[in-house]
């Protein structure tokens, strides 16, 4: 009567319960069965949770999300490490080695260029220093020669100056007594000099008066 479809329904119904001590104990309602008519219009009330319990549930859920995120990140990094050991990673390392060699060669050439420029600069500085030292030595030598000439001139003048000797000291004393020298002098407002202690202004004509040089 039911055919094959009817037998499947009977099989579903038959496996929906187990028999325990001659009693039928239902495990669950069959999957294809509709909702019971007594529960169609039943609205299940939403459970009301306290605020502290909500906060605790949220904290646990956040911890769970952070833990899962860390685990996923860890497995992702492990997968990248495993992938780097393959052919692509070897190619990448080979390219990095080539780039490193190129940079090292470029650095070596730049160092050689810098060393050459430094040597040229030091050579120029050494030449300038040598020239400055030579010029300084020539200048000092010239100053030394000029100083020697000045000393010789001074000694010559000192030697040419007459000195009182022991044999003519009496004659020098007589000459000094016969020709006394008075270093006293006076000045007027016009700048005229009147030498001597007892010199009278009226006895010297104006055209013969000595006047100080303004320079």
The answer on pLDDT for 70 being more than 60 is yes
- pLDDT value of residue 23: 65
Question: In whole angstroms, how large is the CA radius of gyration of the chain?
Answer: 64
pLDDT in tens, 146-160: 999 999 888 888 777
- Decide: 187 and 212 in contact? Cβ < 8 Å: yes
Indicate the pTM of the whole model. Answer: 0.31
- pLDDT value of residue 84: 62
| Rounded Cα–Cα distance for residues 93 and 91 (Å) | 5
Distances (CA, A) of 198 to 92, 177, 186, 194, 203: 118, 18, 10, 10, 11
- pLDDT value of residue 114: 94
Phi/psi for 186 (5° steps) reads -130, 155
pLDDT confidence tier of residue 98, bands split at 50, 70 and 90 = very high
Residue 169 has which token pair? 């000291």
- pLDDT value of residue 184: 80
| Rounded Cα–Cα distance for residues 193 and 201 (Å) | 10
pLDDT confidence tier of residue 16, bands split at 50, 70 and 90 = very low
pLDDT confidence tier of residue 20, bands split at 50, 70 and 90 = low
As a whole number, the mean pLDDT across the chain is 81
- Is 30 or 73 the better-scoring residue by pLDDT? 73
Neighbours of 30 (CB within 10 A): 14
The lowest-confidence range among 12-16, 161-165, 210-214 is: 12-16
Taking each helix axis from N to C terminus, what angle separates 51-84 and 87-160, rounded to the nearest 10 degrees? 80
Helix (H, G, I), strand (E, B) or coil at 150: helix
- Is 141 or 31 the better-scoring residue by pLDDT? 141
User: What length is written for the chain?
Assistant: 215
Distances (CA, A) of 94 to 84, 87, 90, 91, 99: 12, 10, 6, 5, 9
Residue 105 has which token pair? 């060669």
- pLDDT value of residue 11: 46
pLDDT confidence tier of residue 36, bands split at 50, 70 and 90 = confident
Q: What does the pLDDT average to over 182-190? A: 79
The answer on pLDDT for 177 being more than 90 is no
The lowest-confidence range among 44-48, 56-60, 85-89 is: 85-89
The answer on pLDDT for 6 being more than 70 is no
Please give the sequence-ordered ranges of beta strands (E in DSSP) within the chain, or none if there are none.
Answer: 17-20, 23-26, 185-187, 192-195, 210-211
The answer on pLDDT for 13 being more than 60 is no
């Amino acid at each position: 009567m039911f055919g094959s479809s009817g037998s499947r329904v009977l099989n579903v119904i038959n496996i929906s319960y187990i028999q325990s001590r001659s009693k039928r104990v239902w495990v669950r309602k069959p999957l294809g069965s509709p909702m019971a008519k007594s529960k169609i219009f039943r609205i299940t009330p939403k459970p009301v949770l306290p605020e502290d319990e909500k906060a605790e549930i949220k904290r646990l859920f956040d911890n769970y999300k952070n833990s899962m995120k860390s685990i996923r990140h860890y497995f992702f990094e492990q997968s990248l490490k495993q992938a780097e050991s393959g052919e692509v990673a070897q190619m990448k390392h080979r390219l990095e080695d080539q780039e490193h060699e190129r940079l090292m060669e470029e650095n070596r050439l730049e160092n050689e260029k810098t060393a050459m420029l430094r040597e040229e600069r030091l050579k120029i500085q050494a030449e300038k220093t040598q020239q400055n030292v030579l010029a300084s030595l020539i200048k000092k030598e010239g100053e030394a020669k000029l100083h020697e000439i000045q000393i010789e001139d001074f000694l010559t003048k000192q030697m040419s100056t007459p000195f009182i000797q022991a044999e003519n000291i009496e004659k020098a004393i007589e000459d000094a007594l016969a020709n006394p020298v008075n270093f006293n002098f006076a000045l007027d407002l016009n700048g005229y000099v009147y030498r001597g202690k007892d010199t009278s202004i009226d006895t010297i004509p104006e055209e013969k008066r000595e006047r100080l040089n303004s320079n």
